[in-house]
Amino acid sequence: MLDESKLEKEITTDAVDFSFGELLNLHRDGEIIIRPEYQRLFRWSTEQRSRLIESVLLRLPIPPIFLVENDSNILELIDGLQRTSSVLQFLDHTAIGEPELILSGCDILPALNGVKFSDLSTSLKFKIKRTPIRAIIIKKSGDQYVKYEMFKRLNTGGSLLSAQEIRNCSSRMVDGGEHFYSVIQNLANEQNFLKAIERLPDPSRERRGDEELVLRFFAVKNYRDGYKGNIEEWLDSYMEDVLLQHHAFDAASESGHFNRVFNLISAAFMDGAFSRFKSTGDSTGRLAPAYFEAVVGAVSDELPAIEGKDVSTLRAKLIDAFAHADFLASTGPGANSIEKFRKRIDVVKAYLLV
């Protein structure tokens, strides 16, 4: 039977129709915040943005946007960034610090190709500015966990946002979430960390793969028992437990430990810390997440014992660990099983402690 008391956790929303002209003015006045650091501002191509403008002129339906009200009653866009930013760029590219949008790829109204906003007639300019879009405003009151889950569910059905981008945006639904995200973001820019993850592919970096590695580091360090074999669910659960204060996270202490670990990793293993080695001892290939877990888990667990060791010796030991049959078996097929997750950490740990 449904526990009706759980329905008391429902969140309060308002539905408002804003015109694009109003959204532009509210953004200029700082009453609506668009944060491109949470969702890459323009993952859409110029053609996709142009077709949205074409759709606006054709009066085709446009999905709603979602905003959340913060403690200062400022509205923050949490879903619909691509749609909103595309139209604002066309209306006034300086308002969002982007190049002027010149339309291309319009196939229903091909005469729009090569056109910018200033080229339009006054009536068409008004038509775009006065076109309404439904905005769902999530009030600042309401259960934090429900708001957090709401944002996840809004985005996990599609493929525009990566798992880490969804986590970053969702964190803003919870008090203190912005601070936790800023810790992750700052650590992702530490020089020794950047040196160690140089082999992370650029497409992964563009989708916040670097920030996900920071989160994964802390999950390996603090939440190993929460690992059930699904990486995404494990990272989601760890972040939710931190945000909802079910799991302690002292930002200063954790950041200090993170920096000590990566100071050692970058000095001893350089950019080969999380990738395979050739027979010559040179690292090769892209960063492998299973290797990342193994190395950061081992170094984090045994940091005081490892810190004083000669870095060239540590590198040689890591090469030997990566070549060991047990390590190779734990990073091959089925690598996400709990047993193999633990085994690869233990193998690296044993070699580095010798």
Encoded tokens for 291: 């290797």
Domain ranges of the chain: 4-142, 165-353
Say whether pLDDT at 238 is over 50: yes
pLDDT digits (tens, 9 = 90+) for 180-231: 888 999 999 999 999 999 999 988 887 889 999 999 999 999 999 999 889 9
pLDDT band at 275 (very low <50, low <70, confident <90, very high): very high
Say whether pLDDT at 260 is over 70: yes
pLDDT digits (tens, 9 = 90+) for 138-187: 876 656 666 666 666 665 444 456 778 778 767 766 777 778 888 999 99
Say whether pLDDT at 71 is over 90: no
pLDDT digits (tens, 9 = 90+) for 17-40: 999 999 999 999 999 988 655 444
Residue 140: the pLDDT is 63
Say whether pLDDT at 9 is over 60: no
What percent of the chain lies above the pLDDT cut of 90? Answer: 61
What percent of the chain lies above the pLDDT cut of 70? Answer: 87
Span 234-240, average pLDDT:
92
> Per-residue b/e over 138-153, b at no fewer than 16 CB within 10 Å?
bebebebeebbbbbbe
Residue 158: the pLDDT is 45
Span 234-249, average pLDDT:
91
Of the listed ranges 40-44, 233-237, 253-257, the one predicted with least confidence: 40-44
